[in-house]
């Protein structure tokens, strides 16, 4: 019997497949793949904020599970609806299910390629409502039909950039933590980490989430990057010129950096939060779409904080502006009434008092930030307006750190890519150091 099953997840499928990569499975297993994908798409898209367009959702509710890909492809080709992220949802769900089932139907590979072609505006030679495709004569007649195209890349570069700016907008992107039990459908593609949930040391595994204050559900605007390599390259410059606000745990920031090594050289503006409070429980983004500001996180891990700046110092060559946001508990723990120098050089600054002193790492969180060379530095400490002396101190400390940063040697420019392929932060190259990262260029 002919082989009908690929023994890999979708993303790990080799281009050249041998007999070990394919198998013959019962039809019931193929049906299970389509049934689970169909059900999960309807369920997750309804929960994720944007949801499916009404036209597509209505058709999916009454279709056979095997016809899902064809319906999505037909909608893209017809141009009656816009991809607001539901195509990414579908691909992510199919990937997750292929991992759980240790493979996927061989015919799905052709369906996925047809969807990709439809997403970039190409005319597929397959019937969008028939997963098995048409006969050769029908395919030939379809490909011979004249199509209308718009020469987008023939437009002047400044006009293309204006279109990118209008599409991607200039509002900041916020990186935070997913709440426990609210994991994204893209979990398998994101680096995971453990967060403490109680004083007893219990932990739960989660990942980061990227939010936009005005558009809680990202997706539609990012689909522009899927058009082709040139559009992706040009639009990425606009996307990564937005301010990235890291408002979650330090682990969420480090996990994001690990998943975006190749893009760190393009980030120009960063705002990063450091939490000094010792009794703040982990909450994460409990309601992603209801509030543009995530709740405070537990005390920032100095270990992860150090790793973040070891990476940024070497890779963030386009970084121009950096803002450090500190919570109000700073005023109770730092010797700020002495001088900016006393605070900056305090080896135990805002460290948990119960932890033993570690002679091998006496740098505090401000000293790690000051390793960034030549950037415009901004400091924002909560509660500063409660006392005029606090305002003066914040301004003086900001100036003190600015001077330090502009005296440091410029080290950015090192090209680093991930080769570990790990999705648990403590096992990933971003955590383990330079030995697992590949340098190129």
Q: pLDDT digit string (tens) for 248-305?
A: 899 999 999 998 888 899 999 999 999 998 766 565 554 444 444 555 577 899 999 9
Percent of the chain with pLDDT over 90: 31
Say what the pLDDT of residue 369 is. Answer: 96
Say what the pLDDT of residue 359 is. Answer: 46
Residues 6+ apart with CB under 8 A from 280: 296, 297, 298, 299
Q: What is the DSSP letter of 359?
A: T
pLDDT tens per residue, range 414-431:
777 777 878 889 999 888
Say what the pLDDT of residue 288 is. Answer: 43
Buried b or exposed e, range 314-341, using 16+ CB within 10 angstroms: bbbbebeebbbbbbebbbebbebeeebe
- Whether the CB-CB separation of 190 and 165 falls below 8 Å is answered with no
Structure tokens at 78: 């017809």
The percent helix, strand, coil of the chain (3-state, each to 5) is 45, 15, 45
Alpha carbon distance 183, 178 (integer Å): 6
Say what the pLDDT of residue 20 is. Answer: 81
Say what the pLDDT of residue 80 is. Answer: 57
Low-confidence ranges of the chain (pLDDT < 50): 46-50, 84, 122-143, 186-188, 286-292, 359, 434-435, 441
Residue with tokens 């040009």: 234
Structure tokens at 37: 């994908």
pLDDT tens per residue, range 77-97:
776 555 546 777 788 888 889
Say what the pLDDT of residue 45 is. Answer: 56
In 260-301, which ranges are continuous DSSP H helix? none
Alpha carbon distance 378, 325 (integer Å): 9
Say what the pLDDT of residue 187 is. Answer: 41
Say what the pLDDT of residue 279 is. Answer: 64
Say what the pLDDT of residue 132 is. Answer: 45
Structure tokens at 134: 């048409």
Of 238, 214, 212, nearest to 225 by C-alpha is 238
């Amino acid at each position: 019997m002919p082989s009908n099953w690929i023994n890999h997840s979708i993303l790990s499928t080799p281009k050249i497949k041998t007999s070990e990569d394919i198998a013959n499975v019962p039809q019931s297993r193929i049906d299970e793949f389509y049934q689970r994908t169909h059900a999960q798409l309807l369920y997750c898209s309804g929960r994720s904020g944007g949801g499916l367009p009404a036209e597509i959702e209505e058709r999916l509710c009454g279709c056979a599970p095997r016809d899902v890909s064809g319906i999505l492809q037909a909608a893209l080709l017809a141009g009656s609806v816009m991809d607001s992220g539901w195509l990414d949802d579908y691909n992510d769900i199919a990937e997750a299910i292929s991992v759980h089932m240790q493979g996927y139907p061989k015919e799905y590979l052709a369906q996925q390629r047809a969807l990709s072609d439809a997403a970039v505006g190409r005319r597929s030679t397959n019937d969008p409502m028939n997963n098995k495709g048409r006969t050769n004569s029908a395919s030939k007649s379809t490909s011979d039909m004249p199509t209308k195209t718009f020469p987008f890349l023939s437009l002047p570069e400044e006009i293309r950039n204006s279109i990118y700016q209008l599409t991607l907008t200039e509002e900041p992107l916020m990186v935070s933590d997913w709440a426990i039990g609210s994991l994204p459908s893209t979990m398998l593609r994101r680096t995971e980490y453990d967060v403490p949930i109680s004083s007893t040391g219990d932990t739960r595994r989660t990942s980061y989430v990227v939010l936009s204050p005005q558009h809680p559900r990202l997706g539609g605007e990012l689909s522009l990057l899927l058009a082709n390599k040139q559009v992706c390259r040009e639009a990425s410059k606009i996307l990564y010129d937005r301010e990235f606000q890291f408002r979650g745990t330090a682990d969420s920031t480090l996990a994001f950096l690990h998943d975006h090594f190749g893009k760190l050289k393009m980030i120009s503006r960063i705002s990063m939060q450091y939490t000094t409070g010792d009794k703040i429980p982990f909450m994460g983004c409990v309601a992603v779409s209801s509030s543009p500001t995530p709740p405070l996180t537990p005390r920032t891990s100095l270990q992860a904080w150090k790793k973040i700046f070891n990476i940024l110092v070497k890779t963030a060559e386009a970084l121009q502006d950096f803002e450090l946001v500190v919570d109000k508990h700073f005023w109770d723990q730092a010797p700020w009434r002495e001088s900016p120098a006393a605070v900056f050089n305090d080896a135990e600054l805002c460290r948990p008092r119960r932890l033993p002193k570690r002679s091998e790492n006496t740098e505090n969180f401000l000293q790690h930030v000051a390793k960034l060379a030549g950037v415009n530095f901004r400091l924002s400490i909560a509660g500063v307006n409660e006392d005029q002396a606090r305002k003066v101190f914040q301004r003086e400390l900001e100036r003190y750190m600015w001077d330090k940063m502009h005296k440091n040697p410029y080290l950015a420019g090192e090209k680093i890519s991930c080769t570990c392929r790990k999705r648990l932060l403590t096992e990933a190259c971003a955590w383990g150091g330079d030995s697992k990262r590949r340098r190129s260029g």
